[in-house]
Structure 1
Amino acid sequence: MLKSTLEQWRMFKAVVDAGGFNQAALEVHKSQSSVHHAVQKLENAIGVRLFENIGRKVQLSPQGELMYRRASFLLDEAHKLEAVASSLQAGTETTLRIAVDIIFPSELLYNVLAKVSDEYPLLRIELEETVLSGANSLLSSGKVDMGISPFVLPNGFSEDLCEIEFVAVAHAHHPLHQLGRTLTLEDLKAHRQIVVRDSSTERKADVGWLGAEQRWTVSHVRTSVDVIAQGLGFAWLPIAIIKDKLEDGTLVPLPLGNNAALRKALLYLSFEDGDTLGPAARAFIGELRYQTMNLPTSDLIIDSSTD
Structure 2
Amino acid sequence: MYRAKTTIEQWRILQAVVDFGGYAQAAAQLNKSQSSLNHAVTKLQDQLGVALLEVIGRKAYLTEAGEVMLRRARHLTQNIQDLEELASNINQNWEPEITLAVDLAYPRQYLYSALKAFQPYSRGSRMKIVNTVITGTEEAVVEKWADLVIAGNIPKGFLGEPLCQEYFYAVCHPDHELAQLNSPIEPSELAQHLQIVIKDSARLPQEKQGWLKSEQRWTVSDFHCAIDIMQQGIGFCWLPEYTLIEAFKAKQLIKLNIKGSSFRAVSFYLIAPKADKIGPGTDMLYQQILALRQCNAHEAL
Q: What TM-score do you get using the length of structure 1 for normalisation?
A: 0.63
Instruction: Judge conservation of contact 1:133–1:149 (CA < 8 Å) in 2.
Output: no
The answer as to 2:285 corresponding to 1:284 is yes
Deviates more, 1:128-137 or 1:274-283: 274-283
Instruction: Judge conservation of contact 1:166–1:236 (CA < 8 Å) in 2.
Output: yes
Q: Which stretches in structure 2 are left out of the alignment for 5+ residues?
A: 1-88
Written as runs of structure 1 = structure 2, the 5 A alignment for 1:32-181 is: 90-181=92-183
- Report Cα offsets for 1:70-123 as digits up to 9, x if no partner: xxxxxxxxxxxxxxxxx9964322211010000011121111111111222512
Q: Distance in 2 between matches of 1:200 and 1:139?
A: 11
Alpha-carbon deviation of 1:221? Answer: 2.5
Out of 216, 219, 222, the position equivalent to 1:220 is 222
Which residue pairs with 2:299 in the alignment? 298
User: Aligned AA for 2:293?
Assistant: T
Instruction: Judge conservation of contact 2:163–2:293 (CA < 8 Å) in 1.
Output: yes
- Report Cα offsets for 1:36-74 as digits up to 9, x if no partner: xxxxxxxxxxxxxxxxxxxxxxxxxxxxxxxxxxxxxxx
Secondary structure of 1:293's aligned partner: coil
User: Aligned AA for 1:211?
Assistant: K
Secondary structure of 1:162's aligned partner: strand
User: Aligned AA for 2:153?
Assistant: F
User: Aligned AA for 1:274?
Assistant: A
User: Aligned AA for 1:283?
Assistant: M
Alpha-carbon deviation of 1:295? Answer: 4.8
User: Aligned AA for 2:220?
Assistant: V
User: Aligned AA for 1:202?
Assistant: L
Instruction: Judge conservation of contact 2:199–2:220 (CA < 8 Å) in 1.
Output: yes
Alpha-carbon deviation of 1:189? Answer: 2.4
Instruction: Judge conservation of contact 1:170–1:253 (CA < 8 Å) in 2.
Output: yes
Out of 191, 194, 204, the position equivalent to 1:192 is 194
Alpha-carbon deviation of 1:127? Answer: 0.5
Instruction: Judge conservation of contact 2:164–2:267 (CA < 8 Å) in 1.
Output: yes
Q: What is the number of equivalent residue pairs in this alignment?
A: 213
| Bigger Rg, structure 1 or 2 | 2
User: Aligned AA for 1:265?
Assistant: V
Alpha-carbon deviation of 1:267? Answer: 1.8
Alpha-carbon deviation of 1:265? Answer: 1.1
Instruction: Judge conservation of contact 1:165–1:298 (CA < 8 Å) in 2.
Output: no
The answer as to 2:266 corresponding to 1:265 is yes
Secondary structure of 1:169's aligned partner: strand
Instruction: Judge conservation of contact 1:101–1:131 (CA < 8 Å) in 2.
Output: yes
Distance 1:160 1:100, change over 3 A: same
Alpha-carbon deviation of 1:279? Answer: 2.2
Instruction: Judge conservation of contact 2:169–2:264 (CA < 8 Å) in 1.
Output: yes
Instruction: Judge conservation of contact 2:147–2:274 (CA < 8 Å) in 1.
Output: no
User: Aligned AA for 2:278?
Assistant: L
Q: Which stretches in structure 1 are left out of the alignment for 5+ residues?
A: 1-86, 301-307
- Report Cα offsets for 1:243-283 as digits up to 9, x if no partner: 1101110010112244x221101222212232321222122
Report % sequence identity: 28
Q: Distance in 2 between matches of 1:142 and 1:209?
A: 28
Distance 1:141 1:294, change over 3 A: closer
Please give the root-mean-square deviation of Cα atoms over the aligned residues, in Å. 2.3
Q: Distance in 2 between matches of 1:206 and 1:150?
A: 13
Alpha-carbon deviation of 1:192? Answer: 0.7
Distance 1:138 1:179, change over 3 A: closer
Instruction: Judge conservation of contact 1:165–1:265 (CA < 8 Å) in 2.
Output: yes
Distance 1:255 1:180, change over 3 A: same
Written as runs of structure 1 = structure 2, the 5 A alignment for 1:203-218 is: 203-218=205-220
Alpha-carbon deviation of 1:242? Answer: 1.1
User: Aligned AA for 1:209?
Assistant: W
Distance 1:224 1:243, change over 3 A: same
Which residue pairs with 1:233 in the alignment? 235
Distance 1:182 1:117, change over 3 A: same
